[in-house]
Every structure is written in structure tokens, then in C-alpha cells.
Amino acid sequence: DGGITQSPKYLFRKEGQNVTLSCEQNLNHDAMYWYRQDPGQGLRLIYYSQIVNDFQKGDIAEGYSVSREKKESFPLTVTSAQKNPTAFYLCASSQGQGAVYEQYFGPGTRLTVT
Amino acid sequence: LAKTTQPISMDSYEGQEVNITCSHNNIATNDYITWYQQFPSQGPRFIIQGYKTKVTNEVASLFIPADRKSSTLSLPRVSLSDTAVYYCLVGGGYQKVTFGIGTKLQVIP
């Protein structure tokens, strides 16, 4: 089955700890994205990557970091510098980068930091 | 990037046709219009995409007037399972993607 996997589904961390969210795709897509969603809000773009070893900041990159060492993987690290990290995190991929390309989303990771 | 404006929320009774309009006055020549559907605690799912005139698939229709400054997503005979948030995206390739807040559709029995 082709698709995007995110793990874990739920994640709990103490304030001050860094945490890494996993995102893997087997769709052979070049582009990958990370979004954050807060209750009742839309999706906000954190980082995106057009190709391996390249990524760009989205609208709310502060306090987050990413890497794209493999085509299939785009992990997101939520650092202790992120002021309000509790949110629903969604990873997506598409054949190319941009709104014209259909994005395929993973099931999401709900992160709670206390 | 083209800015989009769509209603925050809409209510509809089961069995009715629902039309959600998105305004995008500064759409560029190379931009496409794409709609996604999102259920609670899930990622959005692609519904339909168009460039001009009308596009129809098994789920919805998309109407785009000649000036392309707006578009209307039409959902025929909605059911309770169509209760979701619907996002209108406008853009082409190699541009930052912006989802916005979307339109929350509530289908009433």
C-alpha cells in the first residue's frame, strides 16, 4: 500500500525537551511538507522540501527544524524554543512542489507538551 | 501568492445541494484552483481541481467563471458524512502552499 506514515499518533513531552516527529512516504514524491493545526484553525505551513537535501521555511518555522537526507523521509524536530508546541502536526507529500500538485497527507501526530 | 476568501461556516440540510464560493481576485495566469476536504483529527483529502469553466468528478463539481476571480465548489445532495472543513487553494508550481482557515460545513439531519 502506498502512502504516508506518521508516528507516533500521540506524543507527550515535558516542557524544555526536544521531540522529533517521524514522516515517511513510499509514493516516490519529490516534495514533502509539515503543517501545524491548532483547534478550530486551518493548516499553517512549517517547512517544506522540494527535493532531497533541500528545504525552505514556511510561515511558522521558528522553534522547528527539519532534515531531508532521504527522499522517503522528512522528520520534524520541535525544539524547546517553540513557545506553544502543543498542536496537531500533519505531514504531506506531492509529486512536485506547489499548490497545483495534489498533496497526500499522513494521519497526523498529536503532540502535547506539559 | 493569490489570497483566497471563503465563508467561515455553512449549514445545510441532508439531501440539499451545497455551494461553497471562494474569492481569489489576484489569481495568476498559471494558477490552478484546488479544493480539499478535512474531517476532524485527519489530514485533508483532495477533492477536485480546475483551471477554468467546469470540472466534475464522482464527488463534486467545480465552477470557474471566465474571469477566474472566484470559484464555486458544488456538493450534490449532501449527507451527514459530508460534515467537514473545505479548503480552497489557489496556486501553481514551485510556490509556497497556503491552506487558510477553510469553510466548516455542518450538515443537519
**What's the confidence (pLDDT) of residue B97?**
82
**What's the confidence (pLDDT) of residue A90?**
97
Among candidates B49, B95, B99 on the partner chain, residue whose Cβ is nearest the Cβ of A98 = B95
pLDDT of B74 over the 80 cut: yes
Write out pLDDT tens, residues A53-98: 999 999 999 999 999 999 999 999 999 999 999 999 999 999 988 8
Rounded to 5 degrees, what angle do the CA atoms A31, A37, A38 make? 165
Give the residue from chain B lying closest to A100, CA to CA: B92
Contact B25, B6 (CB under 8 A): no
**What's the confidence (pLDDT) of residue A1?**
58
What DSSP character marks residue B82? G
> CB B102 to CB A99 under 8 A?
no
> CB B99 to CB A43 under 8 A?
yes
**Beta strand A19-25 pairing with A4-7:** antiparallel
Supply the Cα-derived Rg of chain B in whole angstroms: 13
β partners of residue B12: B107
* Residues from chain B contacting residue A48 (CB–CB below 8 Å): 96-97
**What's the confidence (pLDDT) of residue B93?**
79
Spatial distance between the Cα atoms of A16 and A19, rounded to a whole number of angstroms: 10
Spatial distance between the Cα atoms of B82 and B79, rounded to a whole number of angstroms: 6
Spatial distance between the Cα atoms of B76 and B73, rounded to a whole number of angstroms: 10
**What's the confidence (pLDDT) of residue B100?**
85
Burial class (CB in 10 A: 0-12, 13-18, 19+), A84: exposed
Among candidates B90, B94, B98 on the partner chain, residue whose Cβ is nearest the Cβ of A45 = B98
Cell of B50: 480546475
Give the residue from chain A lying closest to B96, CA to CA: A98
**What's the confidence (pLDDT) of residue B99?**
87
The answer for A 24-43 residues in CB contact with B (under 8 A) is 33, 35, 41-43
**What's the confidence (pLDDT) of residue A2?**
67
> CB A88 to CB B41 under 8 A?
yes
Write out pLDDT tens, residues B1-52: 678 999 999 999 999 999 999 999 999 999 999 999 999 999 999 999 999 9
Write out pLDDT tens, residues A50-64: 999 999 999 999 999
* Residue B80, helix vs strand vs coil: helix
* Residues from chain B contacting residue A99 (CB–CB below 8 Å): 31-32, 34, 89-92, 95, 97-98
**What's the confidence (pLDDT) of residue B1?**
63
Give the residue from chain B lying closest to A106, CA to CA: B43
pLDDT of A40 over the 90 cut: no
Distances (CA, A) of A73 to A5, A22, A27, B73: 10, 8, 11, 34
B51: left (phi over 0), alpha (psi -120 to 50) or beta: alpha
Cell of B34: 484546488
Number of residues written out for chain A? 114
**What's the confidence (pLDDT) of residue A34?**
97
Give the residue from chain A lying closest to B49, CA to CA: A100
Among candidates B42, B96, B99 on the partner chain, residue whose Cβ is nearest the Cβ of A42 = B99
B53 C-beta neighbours (distance < 10 Å), count: 11
Among candidates B31, B43, B49 on the partner chain, residue whose Cβ is nearest the Cβ of A105 = B43
